[in-house]
Every structure is written in structure tokens, then in C-alpha cells.
Structure 1
């Protein structure tokens, strides 16, 4: 499975370079690395999603590898890739990252927390995608990662893995909505 994830990352990098060459855009190494990392995380999320949707058989090692891929590419690493100057040719990053650095860094860190919770769930469930990994009615919380909360957020390790996965995807969506150039 690690080979699949590595192959996905490599093919994303080749695709990015080919598009840049074909369109005459020069992608800086930092922007290319950002794009590679984003493609790796998207590919990893698709692997986990397929297991939750039962379109792919559950494989705890593949599930954990995918979760670890997201964890490794989140947090400080993600924040560092978007340090000033954020704006660059061939990048979809918005200057709002620089204007609201604390929120961006918080979302990057939370992404890693949810990914870690998914890795723990894979360790706890080596044979099957157990029922306790699934969301149940009433597991859905109102609002996303940018919503104001009255109470402390629940511990992602204690929630069903599917819920942690959906919360992680909400972080991705919130970050793109807030920090990506509109219309892209």
C-alpha cells in the first residue's frame, strides 16, 4: 500500500510539472512541494473514504498508511510550506493566509490531530472495520472547524473513526474556503 501512496505522489508531481511546462508557467520548488503534499493528502483521503464507503476492502495497514500520510503532511510541515511570501505563480494560495496566520496554523495542526486519531483506530482494529469505527446517528456535531464552540471539542481518539474522518475533511474544506484564491 505504501507503494501505491508513493506512486500517487510521484504521478502527481509529474502531472504538476507537465501542466506547468505545457502552460508555460514556472512552478517554484516551494509551490511544487505544496502541490505534491496536497495531492498526497487527497490520495490518502480517497483510500480511507473508499474503505468507509465499502468500495474498497478494509485493510488496516493501508488505512493507517493513508492516515499517516495525512498526518506527516499536516501541522508544522503544512504551515512551513505556506510561510511568507505565500503568493506565487501557479499557486492557488491566497494572501489571507498571511493575514490570518493563527487560524491557518490551527487548522493545519487540527488536520494532524484527526489523522493521528485515524491511525490509532487502524491499530485498534487490525482485522475489520469494526462497528465502533462507524458513525452512529447523533454523532454529527453542528458547525465546522471554524464555527464558534461553547464547549471544548471532543477528543478525536474517543470518537468513531468515521466521525474523525469527516471532521478532518471539514478542516480541508474550511481551509480551502478561507485560504484559497476564489474562482479556482
Structure 2
């Protein structure tokens, strides 16, 4: 009886741990997964951004896949990945997440809501990045990324996709400003 060779399949967390061990770095599987998810969301945001800027042609399937990547990595999953203890070797996460859990969880949920709105916009606009997906008056963010936010978040489903995208980026910036270790 001959045994078939099976390809070795490693999860990203296991792979990162193996690389960390080989290079002398100590990153926990949880931190490795956080970093992988953050990189996936950043890459997805760049895909959407390029389409809004016109540096990449609009492709509703790629737009939706990018939005879904952000949606899947945010919300409850993001909150769970930053469960106690938050601070660990190899992370830039601040202990302030534990001190202000409701705000962190709200930002994670907002990120998921904006991503869901972008995904639906891709479904509604299969052929072209329509004028209805654009913000009226150009693509400038209103108030900037560190502007004081209103008490209630606006409904992402009632805004143009481009506005939802900018609000999503503002959510990321707000979260990083509040919950990342400063000076790194």
C-alpha cells in the first residue's frame, strides 16, 4: 500500500509563529491574526480607493470582494481578536482598548456597517461606478479624520458609497488614534 503525499497547509497564524520563532521574534497567534486581518483590510481599502480615484477601473466584483473582506474582518471578529489581554509582544495595541471597550466595540461595528454598505453598493451598480455612488460636490471628507463625531452615527445605507467609504476610513483613523500605542 502506497501512501499519497499530502501538501503541507499551514494557517497564516501558524506560519507567522514559525517565522517569528526562526527570527527570534515572539508574536502570539492572536497578534499574528490581528496583524494579518489589519493588512487584509488595508489592502482591500486600497482597492476601493483606487476605483474611486479612477486609478483603477471599476470592477463591481473586485469592489464587492474588497468590501466583504473588510466586513468579515471587522465587527465582532475584530472585537474578539482584541479581547483581554490586549497588550502582547509584537503589538501596537494599547491597553486603552480594555479601559474603553464600549468605544472600541462601537468602532468595530461601525467599520462593519460601512463595509456592508459598500458591498451592497457594488451589487446595485454592477456595470459602472455610478454618479449615485459618488459624494455630491467631489470627494473631500467633511470634517476630516479627527473631527468631532456626532453622538449618533449616520446610516451608511442612506449615503453614497463614496461617503460611506470616507466614513469607514475615518473610523479606522479614529480607532488607531485612540487605541494604538503612541510614538511607534
Query: Shorter-chain TM-score: which interval?
Result: 0.7 to 0.9
Cα distance in 2, alignment partners of residues 29 and 13 from structure 1 = 5
Is the Cα–Cα contact under 8 Å of residues 64 and 122 in structure 2 kept in the other structure? yes
Q: How big is the shift at 1:144? A: 5.2
After superposition, the C-alpha distances for 1:21-75 in whole angstroms (9 at most, x for unaligned) are 5752111000000001001101100110110111111000000000000000001
Pick closer, same or farther for the CA change 1:55–1:14 going to 2, 3 Å.
Answer: farther
Cα distance in 2, alignment partners of residues 85 and 22 from structure 1 = 25
After superposition, the C-alpha distances for 1:98-120 in whole angstroms (9 at most, x for unaligned) are 00000000000000000000001
Q: Which residue of 2 aligns with 1:43?
A: 43
Q: Which has the higher helix share?
A: 1
Question: Aligned runs of 1:63-102 on 2, under 5 Å?
Answer: 63-102=63-102
- Backbone CA RMSD of aligned residues: 2.4
Pick closer, same or farther for the CA change 1:117–1:30 going to 2, 3 Å.
Answer: same
Pick closer, same or farther for the CA change 1:55–1:15 going to 2, 3 Å.
Answer: farther
Cα distance in 2, alignment partners of residues 106 and 16 from structure 1 = 29
Which stretches in structure 2 are left out of the alignment for 5+ residues? 1-9
Q: Which residue of 2 aligns with 1:137?
A: 137
Q: How big is the shift at 1:136? A: 1.5
Is the Cα–Cα contact under 8 Å of residues 145 and 173 in structure 2 kept in the other structure? no
Which stretches in structure 1 are left out of the alignment for 5+ residues? 1-9
Secondary structure of the structure 2 residue equivalent to 1:120: helix
Point out the structure with max Rg over C-alpha: 2
Secondary structure of the structure 2 residue equivalent to 1:69: helix
1:112 and 2:112 aligned: yes
Pick closer, same or farther for the CA change 1:23–1:183 going to 2, 3 Å.
Answer: farther
Per the normalisation by structure 2, the TM-score is 0.84
Cα distance in 2, alignment partners of residues 131 and 94 from structure 1 = 40
Pairs aligned (count) = 173
